[in-house]
Amino acid sequence: MDDEKSNINYDEIIQQAAEKVFVSMEPRVSERQLQQLHDAYDFAREAHKVQVRKTGEPYIIHPISVALICAEELKLDTNSVTAAFLHDVVEDTPYTVKDITQRFGEDVSFLVNVVTKKKKEAYKTSKQVDNYKQLLESIQYDVRALMVKLADRLHNMRTLASMKPDKQMKIAGETDYFYAPLANRLGLFSIKTELENLSFKYRCCLEYADIIDMLERDQRNNQARLNTLTTSIEQVLLAQGIRVTAKAYWRAPYSIWRRMKEQQRDFWHLDNRYYIRITFTDCDDKTLNEKNVCLKIYSILTDIYKEKPGTFLNLIDQAKENSYKSINVMLLSEGGMWEDVQISS
């Protein structure tokens, strides 16, 4: 194993990873801003040059990965991606916030300072709680620091396998308790879902593995039937002048596990193991707003498929806390199955 690691060209891996960040940012930043990103990468690489991760990789791979999440997945601005490159410099190297300010300005140093755990002899409550408080108090000034921290936590969770089991449990527990709900409240649903599932994977590894296995079997058993149904829905709506994409999505393992607990049912007797999302892209009737297009789709489908009484849910006027908006309803498909249908733009 050590011989294999010694043969890895980390310089090439690091340069390629950094280049992905620059390529992602280049179309939406100025030449000066792109140079700032290069400078931040060079500064971070020099600062972390003697550090390695638990995996044995050079530490700089982590800041680059966080910067890539900020650039590609969160679409953050130049200063946020700069802060992502630098987010561990003050905490883990001799450099200070003042050094960051002098080189990259007060905005970048503010973001780095928020995500830097403070070294204190005595905490007001505890190190963990004080850290949460520091993050949440930054919202009144700027939400970007929280986004950088979520990107940091997401990469740590994606690479958690390298940690000892006790550290895995601690970090996974923090993620489920604080970071996943935070992502949800910020409307970052895909990140919230990934954090929940990675946390579940390490906190309840046997249950996670069982649900993964059952989801794969369920998908094999139902995919062909659902493909036929979604194709039919697309054709019916197209004939009415509404262009949509209809697709079946299986719920994530954590969501399945939570529903099993709530409904007191096993996997195979669980309602809503998957759902059909109907996303409209265009409608011939330009007088209709998004809500009314969704209602028109609902009206057309309920003329064809029987609606389960009491299942209509208007999440457009009463959106979820993560701002997701849709019309939800259960419809009886031709195969005699109640299908969970979500209609949105």
Residue 177 to residue 173: CA distance in whole angstroms:
6
**What tokens does 298 get?**
């609902």
User: Which are the catalytic amino acids?
Assistant: 91-92
Q: Using H for helix, E for strand and C for coil, what is the string for the chain?
A: CHHHHHCCCHHHHHHHHHHHHHHHHHHHCCHHHHHHHHHHHHHHHHHCCCCECCCCCECCHHHHHHHHHHHHHCCCCHHHHHHHHHCCHHHHCCCCHHHHHHHHCHHHHHHHHHCCCCCCCCCCCCHHHHHHHHHHHHHHCCCHHHHHHHHHHHHHHHCHHHCCHHHHHHHHHHHHHHHHHHHHHCCCHHHHHHHHHHHHHHHCHHHHHHHHHHHHHHHHHHHHHHHHHHHHHHHHHHHCCEEEEEEEEECCHHHHHHHHHHHCCCHHHCCCCEEEEEEEEEECCCCCCHHHHHHHHHHHHHHHCEECCCCCEECCCCCCCCCCCCEEEEEECCCCCEEEEEEEC
